[in-house]
Every structure is written in C-alpha cells, then in structure tokens.
Structure 1
Amino acid sequence: MGLPRTFVGFSSTDIRSYWLMSAWKNNSKIDFNFVDCQLAQEINSENEAYIKRKCRERINMAGTFISLIGQDTKSKHKYVRWELEVALEKDCRIIGVNLDGTRYMNPNTCPKIIQDIGAIFVSFSPQIIAYALKNYQMNDNGNWYYKDIVYQELGYKI
C-alpha cells in the first residue's frame, strides 16, 4: 500500500505547526511520511470563490484530511470549516491533531463538524500521527482516540 494522500487543514495562526510537519516529513531521522496534497504555494488572491475552487481540487486528491486543531480552529468558518465540509463530502478519513497535546477530542477547540463523526484525535507529534495515518480507519460515529498503551509502545512517556 502506498503513502496516504493527505490534505492538512489549519487556521492561519497554526501555519508553523504545518511547517513543522513538513520538516518531519523531510527529515530522514524521523519516521514520518505522507503524500502532501496541500497547495504548493499560498494563493495570492482575495477572490474567495477562486481560493475555494483551488482548495477543493487539492482536497479531492486526498483520501485523508488532517485537521490541525489549535486554540482558534473551532471559530474559523470561512475556510477551515468549509475545508472540513469538503473533506466530509468526499468521505475523507479525518484525523484531528490537537496542538495543545490533548489525546482525545477536546470540545473547547474542536470544530463541531468533526465531533461524533468517527474521526480519531491524537496529539501533535510525529510518531502518533504517523501511526494514525498508517492504521486508522474511519468509524461511523463517536470520537476515537488511542489508549495510553499505544502511546507508550511508540515511545511516549505517560
């Protein structure tokens, strides 16, 4: 099986976390990889329809949608929520990645659109995200997370 084709969605305030994921991917000492369907460069336009069309094209290439969940993600609707809607329309596998280190769905930061839909939620770290990319299959409902034993087996201190 090939690498998962993945679109990473995030609030503009969390772009550094996306850059860090890209650095993990490019670091040969870190076992972390995926086919990144993110836009190759920032769209230099104010035209919302054009921006959304370009993002939809990239999301349609992906089978997995990683949502980087930061402090303001829940309140971002114009693009963040819209990207999640497109991913759900396409039946992408959803992986919620909590930038605050939480290992489960945090209702204070998680957008309602991906609550109780069968997505998995993990903390922001290469080993657990790579594990989810390799192993997680969407469920029909609920908020899923890995038990402490999985984190421990991956080398995390609990």
Structure 2
Amino acid sequence: MGLSNAFVGFSSTDIDDYRLMQAWRANNNIDLDFNDCQLNDALASENEEFIKTKCRERINMADKYVMLIGKDTKSKHKYVQWEAEVAIEKGCTIICVNLDGSREMVRNTCPPVIRDMGAIFVAFSPRIVAHAIENYKMRDDYGNYYFKDELYKRLGD
C-alpha cells in the first residue's frame, strides 16, 4: 500500500504545530509518513483568487485532508474553511487534529464546515495522527467520530 497524499490545513497562528508534524515525519523514530501536498513555499501574492487556485491544485492531489484545529481555526473563513470545503467537495477523507489534546470534536473550536459530516477527530500526537492518516476512511452517516481510549493506550499515546 502506498503513502496517503495529505493536504494539511491550518491557521497561520498554528504554523509551528504544522512544522512539528513535518519534524515527526522526518524523524526515523516516529512512524508517521505521508506525501505532503501542502504548498512548498508561501505564495508571494496577495491575490486571493491566485492563492486559492494554487491551493485547489494541491488539494486535488490529496486523498486526505488533515485540519489542525487550534484556538482560532473556527474563525478562519478566508482560507482554512474554504480549503475544507474544497477537500469535502473532492471527497477527501477528513482528519481533524485537536491541538489542545482533545480526542473528540470540540464545538468551541471546531469549524462548522467539518462537523457532523463523517470526519474523525484525534489529539495532536504522532502515533494517533499516523493511525488516522493510514487507516481512517470517511463515514457516510454524518457523525463526528473518534478513536476509543484503548487505541491511544495501545499506540502509546
């Protein structure tokens, strides 16, 4: 089985958490691997349409959309919510990663666009994120899903 192609969406305030995910992926002692469809460099443009075109191209390469959910993600409509809408439209598996460590959907921080639509919610930890990327398939019964505590324990998270 090949690597999943994942686009990671996040608020600009959560860039350090995204970089930590990249470090996990680069660390030989952490079993997290995926083809990162994120833009390699920040676009030197303020043209919203151009930026969205480039993001859409990258999301169209992905089969998984990983949203890092921090304190202000819910209010990021211009790009973060739009990226999620594009990923949903494309049919990507949606994996929501709570930066506060929560293992379930947190209404106060979760953007409405990804609620009750079959996504999985996990804590920000390399083993459970890796497990979700490798194993989770979208559910079509429109709930909010999470892994049981036993899986976190088994994985060592």
Stretches (4+) displaced over 3 A: none
Q: Which segment drifts farther, 131-140 or 93-102?
A: 131-140
Instruction: Give CA deviations for 1:62-95 in whole Å, capped at 9, x if unaligned.
Output: 0000000000000110000000010011000000
Instruction: Give CA deviations for 1:95-124 in whole Å, capped at 9, x if unaligned.
Output: 000000000000000000000000000000
Match of 2:3 in 1: 3
SS at match of 1:33: coil
SS at match of 1:18: helix
Matches within 5 A, 1:106-117: 106-117=106-117
| Matched AA of 1:146 | F
- Across the aligned residues of Structure 1 and Structure 2, the Cα RMSD in angstroms comes to 0.5
Match of 2:151 in 1: 150
Match of 2:87 in 1: 87
Q: What CA distance in whole angstroms lies between the structure 2 residues aligned with 1:150 and 1:28?
A: 22
Q: What CA distance in whole angstroms lies between the structure 2 residues aligned with 1:137 and 1:62?
A: 14
Match of 1:18 in 2: 18
> Where does the alignment leave 5 or more consecutive residues of structure 1 unmatched?
none
> Where does the alignment leave 5 or more consecutive residues of structure 2 unmatched?
none
Deviation at 1:135, TM superposition (A): 1.1
**TM-score, normalised to structure 1's length?**
0.98
Match of 2:130 in 1: 130
Match of 1:71 in 2: 71
| Matched AA of 1:142 | G
Q: What CA distance in whole angstroms lies between the structure 1 residues aligned with 2:78 and 2:156?
A: 38
| Matched AA of 1:144 | Y
Q: What CA distance in whole angstroms lies between the structure 1 residues aligned with 2:132 and 2:41?
A: 26
Aligned residues, how many? Answer: 156
Deviation at 1:134, TM superposition (A): 1.2
Q: What CA distance in whole angstroms lies between the structure 1 residues aligned with 2:27 and 2:79?
A: 30
**TM-score, normalised to structure 2's length?**
0.98
Q: What CA distance in whole angstroms lies between the structure 1 residues aligned with 2:57 and 2:65?
A: 13
SS at match of 1:45: coil
Instruction: Give CA deviations for 1:36-79 in whole Å, capped at 9, x if unaligned.
Output: 00001110101000000000000000000000000000011000
